[in-house]
Each structure stands twice: as structure tokens, then as C-alpha cells.
Amino acid sequence: MEEDYEVIGRVFEAQYSQSCTIDDEHRIRRGDRVAKVQRADNPMLPVPGVACKVCIKGMPRSKG
């Protein structure tokens, strides 16, 4: 499922605890490395939230 997404922008530290937007079983704690993501097949569809460091590890970067 991670291959459906691309990292946009920079990786940053989470400001609060939440669930990962890609895999809701992954918990994000304050200070964890996270990134905003977009759909690879349609970047115009907004993706709320952020992805955790596990999910973004092998994810490609957006070209735009």
C-alpha cells in the first residue's frame, strides 16, 4: 500500500501523538520523524495527516 503514495516536502518531527495516515496500526508519538504524503496516481486528491517513519522509509519522493 505504501507504493500508492509519495513523500512531499521534508521529513519533520511530529508535534503531537496520532495514528499514521497510511497504516492506522502504526502509532506516531511526539518527536517521531514523519512526512506529508500524496497519492502517486492522483496528487490532486488531498491526503490528511502524516505518515510514520516506518511507512516513509522506502517511499519515493514527489517529483513536483
Helix or strand or coil: residue 17?
coil
Pairwise CA distance, residues 64 & 62, whole Å = 6
Q: Residues of the chain with pLDDT > 70: what percent?
A: 95
pLDDT range class, residue 1, cuts 50, 70, 90: low
Residue 62 domain-assigned? no
Look up residue 61 and give its three cell numbers.
Answer: 519522493
Domain extent for 44: 2-56
| CA distance between the termini of the chain | 21
> What's the structural domain count of the chain?
1
Mean pLDDT computed over every residue of the chain: 93
pTM of the model: 0.86
Report residue 2's pLDDT band, with 50, 70 and 90 as the boundaries.
low
Q: Does residue 55 surpass a pLDDT of 90?
A: yes
Q: Is residue 19 part of a domain?
A: yes
Contacts of 44 (CB under 8 A, 6+ apart): none
